Amino acid sequence: MRRLFWRAAARLAADPRVRAKAADLFEQEVKPRAKALGQRVEPAVRAVRKEVGDAAREADPLKDPKGFAAGLKDRFDKHRKR
């Protein structure tokens, strides 16, 4: 049964019409949604990057990983309570 599915998938992947439809679907549906999501989460990613950087300046993650992790946890706990 598995071999049958693999062969069917291979035939579909080799079909130029299916490939064109998949490319169109990606360009029309997937790519715009991913771009919109990226724009929506960008401020949160920047905030997290800043918090991690600040925590790393307080406790060196290489020399004091436990202190770094504890400081990072405290920072995120404070943000979560807001």
pTM as predicted? 0.60
Print pLDDT tens along the chain (82 aa). 889 999 999 998 999 999 999 999 999 999 999 999 999 999 999 999 999 999 999 999 999 999 999 999 998 888 777 6
Q: Three-state secondary structure along the chain?
A: CHHHHHHHHHHHHHCHHHHHHHHHHHHHHHHHHHHHHHHHHHHHHHHHHHHHHHHHHHCCCCCCHHHHHHHHHHHHHHHHHC
